[in-house]
Structures are given as C-alpha cells and as structure tokens.
Amino acid sequence: MASLTNTITQSRVWRSFFRHGMPNNPLDRSLVMTTNIFFHLHPVKVNLKSLKATYSLGLGIITTFLFVSLSVSGILLMFYYVPTVERAYPNIVALQTQVPFGQLLRNLHRWGAHLMVLAAVLHMARVFYTGAYKPPREFNWIVGVLLLILTLGASFTGYLLPWDQLSFWAITVGTSIASYEPVMGSTVKKILLGGPEVGQEALTRFYALHIMVIPAIIFLLISLHIWRVRKDGGLAANEN
Ligand code: HEM
C-alpha cells in the first residue's frame, strides 16, 4: 500500500497538479496549505479552539460576505441609476415599479448595508471580548477601526443617492452637524457638498465616493486585514 502511494505521489501527473507528497507528515501538510490558492490564506497551523463556530461566530467572514454581496448588487444598481438631480429619484421609482426584480435588488443593497454595519460592530465587540486586540494584533485592530469608519462612510454617502426627501434632509442635517467640528468642520462640509447646500455638486461627489473611492479602499483594507490575520498566526484563541 505504502509503495502504491509512493508511486502515485512520485508520478509526473500527480506532480503537475500537486507540488507535494501525500499530506501524511508535517512538511507535506504545510505544503498543502501554502501551495493551494484557496488554502494559502490560512496559517499552516491553527489553534483548535479558534475553529469552534462559537469562538468568532464567523462575524468577520459574514462582514466580508456582505461587502462582496453589496458590491455585486451595487454594480447591478448602477445599470439603472443616473446621479443627476433630475433623474435620480425617477430612476429609483422606475427601478422599483418597472424593472423585473428591481425592488428585490434595491432591498438587497439597502438591507445588506444595514447588516454590514451591524456585523462589523458585532465583530469588533467579539474581538474586544476575546482580547484579540492585544499584541501582535494591535495593527490589525487599527486596520479594523479604519474599516468600520469606511463602512459608516459608505452608508452615509449611499443615503443621499435616492434623492428623496429623507435623503436630502438627512444629508443636510448630517453635513451641518459635521460643520460644527472645531478645526476642520466647515472645510469638511464644503469638500463634501462642493457648494453651500445639498445640490448637484453634492450628489456627484457622494456618488463618486460611494461607488469608487470608498469601496476601493475597503477592498484593499479587507485584503490587508485578512492577510494580517494569517500573518499573526490565525485567530487569537487561547493566547490571552
Ligand atoms: C469591514 C469590516 C471588517 C471586515 C470585513 C473584517 C474581516 C475580518 C475577518 C474575515 C477576520 C478573521 C475571521 C473572524 O474573526 O471572523 C477578522 C479578524 C480580526 N478583525 Fe476584522 N473585519 C472588519 C472590521 C474590524 C473591526 C471594526 C475591528 C476592530 C476595531 C477588527 C479587528 C480584527 C482583529 C483584531 C482580528 C483578529 C481576531 C483574532 O485574532 O481573534 N475588524 N476580521
């Protein structure tokens, strides 16, 4: 049996697919992880306790999944949405009433956004509760804080896009609250709105931030965040 296994793992066909022998020893087990595109994100060795579903509750993965699902539904929404003050609101009404599955698409995006904020906050609470912010993971904690701020930023910028009464007044109130911040307040308001009040300039800026700038930075930071989890030796279970 052992010689048959050897013959298979030494064959050119096996070697062309797998760059390691049978994973029945520590070296080949490590190679299984590091040479596979799907496994290489995981550390070679993980703490058994961290694999329990009740340890992380999968909240980081759920947040990542929601980001991917929001990106897909967001791209589909862009097929119908035009960011001008004349067309934005009628576009949203038409999407809900005339486009097949339009209402479902809009609700997937809207509810996904609420859930992503909730999941990120719960994930942060879990990390805090398990003490996973301690060294060597303090850098990843900071990356997480940036991700949370950007997630809230994506929610805020998306809120204006339907251009209905609720969005218009929410952003009017939100940006005027921001303008009371002592040092940068009024500058931040001007940069966000591109003028003295919420109008076309604000809609253009919020749209660019919402569909390009913020998602691109979130994508890069999630990649960095997950890579850091791997480099910090997997989840922190048992160490603290
Ligand atoms: C867009 C938001 C976020 C995404 C997509 C995300 C994603 C993830 C994923 C997939 C993991 C590994 C699996 C897990 O723990 O469930 C993780 C771990 C971690 N996250 Fe986040 N995260 C986000 C926000 C945050 C926030 C707000 C913080 C804290 C301020 C944070 C700090 C950490 C730390 C320290 C770890 C390592 C945990 C450990 O070793 O036990 N993350 N994150």
Tens digits of per-residue pLDDT, 193-217?
A: 999 999 999 999 999 999 999 999 9
- CB of 189 closer than 6 A to ligand 1? no
Q: What is the C-alpha separation between 152 and 175, in angstroms, rounded?
A: 14
Q: Enter the tokens of residue 163.
A: 């251009």
Tens digits of per-residue pLDDT, 39-57?
A: 887 777 788 888 888 999 9
Q: Where are the domains of the chain?
A: 2-34, 54-231
- Torsions phi, psi of 57, nearest 5? 60, 10
- Torsions phi, psi of 36, nearest 5? -110, 130
- SS3 label, residue 184: coil
- Would you say 211 and 78 are in contact if contact means Cβ atoms under 8 Å apart? yes
pLDDT at 240: 47
Architecture of domain 54-231: Up-down Bundle (1.20)
pTM confidence score = 0.88
Given ligand 1 and candidates 124, 133, 229, 239, which is best to mutate, with the most ligand atoms within 8 Å of its CB?
229
The half-sphere exposure of 216 on its side-chain side, counting CA atoms within 13 A, is 5
- CB of 106 closer than 6 A to ligand 1? no
Q: How confident is the model at residue 178 (pLDDT cuts 50, 70, 90)?
A: very high
- Would you say 143 and 224 are in contact if contact means Cβ atoms under 8 Å apart? yes
